[in-house]
Structure 1
């Protein structure tokens, strides 16, 4: 990863702290208070040692000092506990905020972008990579400030007692962060590689798990096990690289810290032997001064050592943020300033002129398309797989960018507010999504407002009452639609579309999973509701095509024919599709 990219990601991570700024400031305030208490404790301890050793003071006379030390230890322990609680809360809140932003972004970009990566990659992004940001906010950021505040507090305490000791501390302190940064740059690269490898492994494992039955049928389970083993080994190596960098950074910090403390000890040793006579402001060097400075010396470097320990968390956060920021900053199809809205009661008319639909990466998926969907019309979209039908559907849903013109009631689609526009759409696909929850909750998905009578009527029209009456609307559907058949799920999706009452009805092979009898019944219901909505349906059923007001025939990304069934059935590409369909049925 380039240094400029690392710097940008670090700035982005710091910018996300605004929602928990008060908690972070409280954490830093508590840590600063603990540093002041530490100096007072050290003063008490040095005084005790000096009085006991040099002045031969009786222990009873020093009881207040002992009580003061006990109070100091208790307060610092309490502050440490509070800081841990506050730090955890900071990390927790930030993780929830970033996960919500990722979910919102997923909702904005739609399935066209999501399908470009395996489900395992998204799971890693949402779970593992966001989780790796926790310690950055709970530990690294507060420690970064403390590594400046605590040494300054100690220098303020040490310089009035012995300027040479203060100078030694101040001169050797920069060695620690300098080498920490050098090691940290390499650690960020290792962490980013580790996150990439984990995302790849997660995607591979989840996809193989979902297709386990197919792999066993084709006797490829052992082969895929070997592939996963290779991926696991790659992840092991990148993890060991990360740990190696973490241990290296700790070793470097300990080395320079030990040298600095040793220099301080040598200075006081030679001073007590009379070999050095500077640093005491022309006064005699007392045992109190030596104890005070030597006890504080390790504490002076401790915040920097802790920062070095947490520097690995910084590297891990930058590595994780790389994928998160790349996704969150992905260009949106709609600008925030484009908020034109449609009239709620007006029937929809859709026109396309030289419409070229692009992929999220900017590649053209279709050739220039020209067509018109009249208000309340019923249009069929036909063509072989890969002709561009689904791309056209995704463009109408606002999930794909386009060039040219695509207007809804005279308003360019990419100037409509996406959420408000989708409220006008009822959609039924080939593989309907049912979430874990009751049948009723799935029917009302998408903030649908419907009474019990309207729900009953929609289920009746969708021919779903034969199983919903037995199961009940409170019947719990498991994750992935487990608990009902594919055909039943399709009928619930159709009932949901009926309840939505959108101005535009988009149907993508809505009866693909139904038997012949249910298919005819559901199509009758769809034909009824399509009379009050503008309808566009992808279908291969000849019976459906005969009832349509218009047929759009697509081939290789362009509309090659338009018209009604009687006009098209004996000519061109449409006639070939009909002949092939009749042959397949026969």
Structure 2
């Protein structure tokens, strides 16, 4: 990974620690108190052993010291428990805030952006990569502070007793951080590649799982199994490389710590044998001095060893942060102003949306990258009007709906009741919309939960009234569980027509002023199509409606029809006017008529000679 990128990601991670609140500071504080308790405990233990062994004092004379030792053990256990609880709470709050920011960002960017990656890749970011930030804040950041504070306390305690031992500790301590830095150079990059492999595997698996029936029908099952096996093997190898670094780091840190403690033990051993005579300020080296320093030596290196153990959490967090930062800092263009995209979040306006009129002037709908999808076009939709948008596939019809929904940026002007859509409060705007697409998304849960998605306060009687209005109440009443009937993932358990009508009930459950319909009767049989069309007509009696459709035979009741070809409006008017004009609309009518005639001819059975004779009689 590029060092500049790694440094910027590290800075971003540290900037987020405010989400941990006071819990991160309390974690450091309890760790520091534990460090002080370690020094006091070592002092009491060395004092007791020196008095009993060297001064031959009775054990009873050290009663207060024993009580102090027991109290310190209890205190240290309590501090360790409090530190773990506080650190977990700090990490939990951070994860909650980051996950909320990610979900809010995905909501702002909208479906047009989300469709750029498989669902499994987004699941990996929201779940796995946010989760992997936890140890950085719960373990690594507090330990980094304690790795400097606790050894400093021990050095302050050791140097007044023996400067040679203090120098040994001071000289060997940097070996551990130096090695951690060397290991960390490759750890962050290994973790980043590991997350990329996991994202690819998740996305690949979910896409193939959703299309399993297609793969089996085209005899591609075995091939896709091999591809998933290859992706899994790649992920396994990258995971093992990360683990190898972690184990190597721990082993070398333990080696340096053990080596330093051994040097101290050798120094005191030779000093007690009178082979060394320095470091004691002329007062000699007592048993108390040797025991006190040797007891503290492992504790001196323990914070550094713990930091090395948790150092992989930093590399893991940096690897996870790359995709998170890329997502959270992705520009969210709603309108292009002076040649630049701007969110204009500070200019949100309140406007009455009880009746909605739409005015577009030189409107050009763009992708999130700035590529034109539609336009420039100009049109008017009066309050209460029903407007249809027709044209060949790829003409830009759905892009217009996405712009009205606030999911795509645009140039030119798109005004709602005289106010630019880009400066409207999007929450207020969407509360007045009813949207129904050709492939409605029903979520895992009961029919009641799906209908009440926008309005959880609806009573069962109100839900049944909505289902009745959508011509689906009979299906619900026939089912033993009624409104508690469970709809599985991907609307499993209901037909396409039933799913469309449940989605229609959900759409009309909120008091909408504008209906946005994207092929609402596509993929439906004629019976379901008639039911959905009748329900829509009843639901939007006085509301404004913009509907994208290919079914020209349903447009007689529309007030205006916009005919779009190659991103431009080539015709507009009512059904009667466009039917008499030469142009794209009439050509589409003729194609529909030819298709209908062919369908009727294919469906009509061939008469036998006997049937013909009977008809003649």
TM-score range (shorter-chain normalised) is: over 0.9
- Is it true that 1:394 corresponds to 2:414 in the alignment? no
Distance in structure 2 (CA, Å) of the matches to 1:48 and 1:448: 69
Bigger Cα displacement from structure 2, 364-373 vs 502-511 = 364-373
Unpaired runs of 5+ in structure 1? none
Contact 1:382–1:551, Cα closer than 8 Å, also in 2: yes
Bigger Cα displacement from structure 2, 507-516 vs 269-278 = 269-278
- Structure 1 segment 133-282 matched on structure 2, within 5 A: 133-282=133-282
Distance in structure 2 (CA, Å) of the matches to 1:47 and 1:185: 45
Shift, 1:235, TM fit: 0.6
Contact 1:448–1:500, Cα closer than 8 Å, also in 2: no
Distance in structure 1 (CA, Å) of the matches to 2:409 and 2:353: 25
Kindly provide the CA deviation profile for residues 350-381 of structure 1, in whole angstroms up to 9, marking residues without a partner as x: 12222221112222222422222222111111
Which residue of structure 1 lines up, in the alignment, with residue 320 of structure 2?
A: 320
Bigger Cα displacement from structure 2, 260-269 vs 90-99 = 260-269
Cα distance change, pair 285–123 in 1 and its aligned pair in 2 (3 A): same
Kindly provide the CA deviation profile for residues 150-176 of structure 1, in whole angstroms up to 9, marking residues without a partner as x: 112111211221122223322332332
Cα distance change, pair 252–560 in 1 and its aligned pair in 2 (3 A): farther
Shift, 1:455, TM fit: 4.1
Contact 1:348–1:375, Cα closer than 8 Å, also in 2: yes
Contact 2:374–2:567, Cα closer than 8 Å, also in 1: yes
Shift, 1:106, TM fit: 2.0
Distance in structure 2 (CA, Å) of the matches to 1:365 and 1:514: 28
Which residue of structure 2 lines up, in the alignment, with residue 335 of structure 1?
A: 344
Shift, 1:280, TM fit: 1.8
Distance in structure 1 (CA, Å) of the matches to 2:2 and 2:316: 15
The alignment partner of 2:347 has SS state of coil
Which residue of structure 2 lines up, in the alignment, with residue 581 of structure 1?
A: 592
Kindly provide the CA deviation profile for residues 244-274 of structure 1, in whole angstroms up to 9, marking residues without a partner as x: 2212322332333234333333433443344
Distance in structure 1 (CA, Å) of the matches to 2:258 and 2:399: 65
- Is it true that 1:420 corresponds to 2:428 in the alignment? yes
Which residue of structure 2 lines up, in the alignment, with residue 554 of structure 1?
A: 564
Distance in structure 2 (CA, Å) of the matches to 1:233 and 1:438: 39
Bigger Cα displacement from structure 2, 388-397 vs 454-463 = 454-463
Which residue of structure 2 lines up, in the alignment, with residue 429 of structure 1?
A: 437
Task: Give the total of aligned pairs.
Answer: 585
Contact 2:454–2:506, Cα closer than 8 Å, also in 1: no
Which residue of structure 2 lines up, in the alignment, with residue 30 of structure 1?
A: 30
Which residue of structure 2 lines up, in the alignment, with residue 344 of structure 1?
A: 353
- Structure 1 segment 497-508 matched on structure 2, within 5 A: 497-508=507-518
Which residue of structure 2 lines up, in the alignment, with residue 568 of structure 1?
A: 578
Q: 1:534 aligns with which of 525, 538, 544?
A: 544
Contact 1:377–1:531, Cα closer than 8 Å, also in 2: no
Distance in structure 2 (CA, Å) of the matches to 1:462 and 1:576: 33
Which residue of structure 1 lines up, in the alignment, with residue 389 of structure 2?
A: 381
Contact 1:341–1:421, Cα closer than 8 Å, also in 2: no
Contact 2:161–2:280, Cα closer than 8 Å, also in 1: yes
The alignment partner of 2:393 has SS state of coil
Contact 2:446–2:483, Cα closer than 8 Å, also in 1: yes
The alignment partner of 2:181 has SS state of helix
Shift, 1:503, TM fit: 1.5
Shift, 1:513, TM fit: 4.0
Q: 1:458 aligns with which of 456, 466, 478?
A: 466
Distance in structure 1 (CA, Å) of the matches to 2:456 and 2:291: 73
- Structure 1 segment 57-96 matched on structure 2, within 5 A: 57-96=57-96
Contact 1:448–1:499, Cα closer than 8 Å, also in 2: no
Distance in structure 1 (CA, Å) of the matches to 2:290 and 2:535: 92
Distance in structure 2 (CA, Å) of the matches to 1:335 and 1:407: 15
Contact 2:454–2:509, Cα closer than 8 Å, also in 1: no
Distance in structure 2 (CA, Å) of the matches to 1:400 and 1:300: 58
- Is it true that 1:443 corresponds to 2:451 in the alignment? yes
Shift, 1:310, TM fit: 0.2
TM-score scaled by length of structure 2? 0.90
Shift, 1:230, TM fit: 0.8
Which residue of structure 2 lines up, in the alignment, with residue 47 of structure 1?
A: 47
Distance in structure 2 (CA, Å) of the matches to 1:454 and 1:235: 50
The alignment partner of 1:354 has SS state of strand
Kindly provide the CA deviation profile for residues 212-251 of structure 1, in whole angstroms up to 9, marking residues without a partner as x: 1211111111100110111011111111221122123223
Shift, 1:443, TM fit: 1.8
Cα distance change, pair 544–448 in 1 and its aligned pair in 2 (3 A): farther
The alignment partner of 1:337 has SS state of helix
Unpaired runs of 5+ in structure 2? 335-342, 599-617
Q: CA RMSD in A?
A: 2.1
Distance in structure 2 (CA, Å) of the matches to 1:276 and 1:561: 102
Distance in structure 2 (CA, Å) of the matches to 1:71 and 1:453: 65
- Is it true that 1:520 corresponds to 2:530 in the alignment? yes
Contact 1:95–1:131, Cα closer than 8 Å, also in 2: yes
Which residue of structure 1 lines up, in the alignment, with residue 603 of structure 2?
A: none
Contact 1:490–1:513, Cα closer than 8 Å, also in 2: no
Shift, 1:67, TM fit: 4.1
- Is it true that 1:510 corresponds to 2:520 in the alignment? yes
Contact 1:342–1:421, Cα closer than 8 Å, also in 2: no
TM-score scaled by length of structure 1? 0.94
Shift, 1:64, TM fit: 4.3
Kindly provide the CA deviation profile for residues 288-317 of structure 1, in whole angstroms up to 9, marking residues without a partner as x: 111211221121111011001000011111
Distance in structure 1 (CA, Å) of the matches to 2:531 and 2:510: 20
